[in-house]
Amino acid sequence: MLTRRHFLTASAATLALPLAPRRLWAGSTLTLGETRIDTLSDGHLVLPADFILGGMPQAELQDIVVRYGLPADQLTPPCNVTLLRDGTNTVLFDVGSGPDFQPSAGKLVEALSALDLTVEDITHVLFTHGHPDHLWGLLDDFDEPLFANAEHMIGQAEYAYWTDPQTPNTIGEARASFAAGASRRLAVIADSLRLLADGEEPLPGITARLTPGHTPGHLAYEIAGPTLATVLGDSVGNHHVAFERPDWASGSDQDQALAATTRVALLDRLAADSHAIIGFHLPGGGIGRVERAGNGYRFIEET
């Protein structure tokens, strides 16, 4: 397994403009045999700290907050979209936020351009789940699929949840807009959308794994090669509390108890196998591995 760190800048056209600001992102590349995986920054989110940390045991939490230098008021997790190229397929895992969620996110098209790629080059889109920062980049300004040449796939349970007419009434007021946004976007591609079962191979060498809790039908994806790599989505949502205390309930998860159970089992297996992981909200581009640390785990960035 060979990794290297690189930096993605805005497109050449943008940089050619007089006095145009340079947009700079950290990204990572992972090579698995003939397959190249890049992480592309969609920007970052701005979240109240309590959205993730609220409700956790505060005395124990403070030690983690101090050691990781976490701000008291808000968190700004990065958004790493995974791009896979195997010589035949050009695959995106999730599509970022698009322009309608937060102004600090929705930068995926610029990141693609930095690799001399366009939306027309994408052959497949595999969704981990239906939250705005993963799904809302699906459509263009005319409400047509942005990745028009791509086949789109999502988990069966995840699709059923976001298209259920009752979901807006049961998801809670804070997430009601999530439901409306997901339902509207998925309706546009409903006739051509491929639904995935747990354990199914959407493409050769890629296996969908049900990792529920963050959302009801959340999928992670295992990518085969000389070694395995796992696209985590939000099954492990940060590099601090989620690793150190995966058993704690997190406010970012829809079913907090189930998400914690999923997270503990997943991290235990990943630490034992020492396979590469790719995390949507993990630092440094998101590629690394899991290592045991005391009673918990830690994220080790690949350098």
Of residues 129, 125, 143, 132, the one with CA closest to residue 104: 132
Largest CA distance in the chain: 53
The single-letter DSSP state of residue 251 is T
Tell me what the mean pLDDT of segment 19-28 comes to: 49
Strand, helix or coil for residue 275: coil
State the pLDDT at residue 25. Answer: 52
What are residue 217's phi and psi, to 5 degrees?
-120, 30
Structural domains in the chain? Answer: 2-301 (3.60.15.10)
- Of the chain, the percentage scoring pLDDT greater than 70 comes to 91
Cα separation of 28 and 232, whole Å?
A: 15
What are residue 293's phi and psi, to 5 degrees?
-145, 100
Tell me what the mean pLDDT of segment 126-139 comes to: 98
Q: What is the mean pLDDT of the chain?
A: 91
